[in-house]
Amino acid sequence: MKKNVLIVVANPSEHPTLHYPVGFWASELFHPISVFNNSDIDWDIASPAGGQVIMDPMSNPNDSSQYSAWDALSKKFVDDAVFMKQLENTKSLDAINPDDYDAIMVAGGQSPMFTFEGAKNLHKLFLSFYESGKVAAALCHGVAVLNFITDASGQFLVANKQITGFTNAEEDQANAAVNAVVMPWRIEDELIKKGAIFKKSEAWKPFAIVDGNLITGQQNMSGEITAQKIVEQLKI
């Protein structure tokens, strides 16, 4: 039977100090989907609250900033009106039956850093995938979810596990690019405090790491390699 991946993206929010809309990062959804399509793996998109989800504007290859104009693969998805219709009304995680899926992958973007703390249904669902032995993956700032997940004993899921995510060096460069502090906290710092063994590559280089059935990707350039590692696990 074909494998099926649940892809979770954050619901829209507004940056509390810089006051612009935040959502998911385009390449962290579209690049993995391309890998899954090429590997004959099914997928669905959902969000903690359901409803419409949005791209971080600078991740949209059609955005006037031209920040992601290089991302021809994401542009194919963005220019596909039929595909984009799916993002207007995503399923809520409350309506998801985990038995329907073989893996979960949490995409990043800026919104996770502001909305995932309160996404209790996501915490519970991600933990259920992990504890049942299914692939549980997170990418870039989607790794923020791991800052809030504890098991029945109260231990953080990341304790003593090798993970990666958006690094301090990348946060520094992101801040410098806009001359402002973008994120309210840092994945590298906070997950190390919770016992994670944090691994990283150079800034903006594709990197992902596997620890058992837990897979994490470093940043927005790591969507493809993260999805490839998910595929490898599903085909074992």
Q: What is the pLDDT of residues 101-124, one digit of tens each?
A: 999 999 999 999 999 999 999 999
At the second CATH level, the architecture of 4-145+200-234 is: 3-Layer(aba) Sandwich (3.40)
pLDDT score at 1? 86
Question: Pick from 188, 145, 182: which is nearest to 164 by CA?
Answer: 188
Query: Both tokens of residue 160?
Result: 């003593």
Segments of the chain with pLDDT less than 70: none
Radius of gyration of the chain (CA): 16
Question: Pick from 161, 162, 163, 171: which is nearest to 204 by CA?
Answer: 171
Residues pairing with 70 in the sheet: none
